[in-house]
Amino acid sequence: MKVLLVDDHPLVLAALQAVIQSIGNDTTVVGVDSAAGARTVLREDPEFDLVLLDLALGDADGFDVLVELRAAYPAVPVVVVSASDRASDVIRAIDSGAMGFVPKKSSHAELHDALRMVMDGAMYVPPSMLGLEFGRRPPTGGDTIPGVMRPAAEVPLGAAASPEPHQKLPSLADVGLTPRQTEVLSLLLQGLPNKLIARQLNLSVETVKDHVAAVLRALGVSSRTQAVLAVSQMTQGQGGYLPRRAPR
């Protein structure tokens, strides 16, 4: 696996490189500290499997860079790794095409889980966005060391508690999607517009619109972003995975 890290904080960049490198011996990590550096690296070698992008870059707005990368390299998934965990930033990143959002205060294990899910074709959002219970958070204004810079044994957020029986989450199987609707959902979660979904599945755009509407109704949501959060809640809450991405 070849990963590009984009972060303008040298200590965080080094820590992320070490964490990602620890995933396996076959993992190659390239780190750059600017949007300009990311553009140069991808121009020279676009065959990366994953991009990890900070939102607070010195030479560009991270959201603008995210949109730019998704347009220029649609086959390369981008995961945002940010000091922010605001719901508005998570939703905006997903709307802009990110396949995942990992707060920097997350533990090593949480970062590994997020990358594993994304590489398996799932989308990852912070469990705090999914209505799951967490252990005690560090107090505001206290220890602000990013989780990726902590020793692996430390888990700043703790593990997600199992839902109570009355909070049991439905699974994708419970939703009752048809095989075709499942395919449409998989492509929808990659951020593809209806036109590209139609081309991928050899369907008319009108047929795709009907399938998307049916998927949203089945999930009980009214937008693609809500669909992402709903499916993430199902998959993360029960350890399941979404259908794999289409072959590159």
pLDDT value, residue 75 = 85
CATH 3.40.50.2300 residue ranges of the chain are 2-161
pLDDT value, residue 149 = 53
Q: In the CATH hierarchy, which fold is given to the domain comprising 166-238? A: Arc Repressor Mutant, subunit A (1.10.10)
Of 115, 97, 84, 107, nearest to 196 by C-alpha is: 97
Composition of the chain by helix, strand, coil, percent to 5: 45, 10, 45
pLDDT value, residue 201 = 93
Stretches where the chain sits below pLDDT 70 are: 128-173, 191, 233, 235-248
CATH 1.10.10.10 residue ranges of the chain are 166-238
pLDDT value, residue 235 = 65
pLDDT value, residue 18 = 86
Of 11, 46, 55, nearest to 144 by C-alpha is: 11
d(CA 195, CA 206): 9
By the 8 A CB rule, do 219 and 231 touch?
A: yes
- pLDDT tens digit string along 148-182? 555 444 433 333 333 333 334 456 667 788 889 88
What predicted TM-score, i.e. pTM, was given to this entire model?
0.64
d(CA 93, CA 225): 10
| DSSP code at position 124 | B
d(CA 88, CA 55): 13
CATH of the structural domain 2-161, one choice from 3.40.50.1100, 3.40.50.2300, 1.20.1600.10, 3.40.640.10? 3.40.50.2300
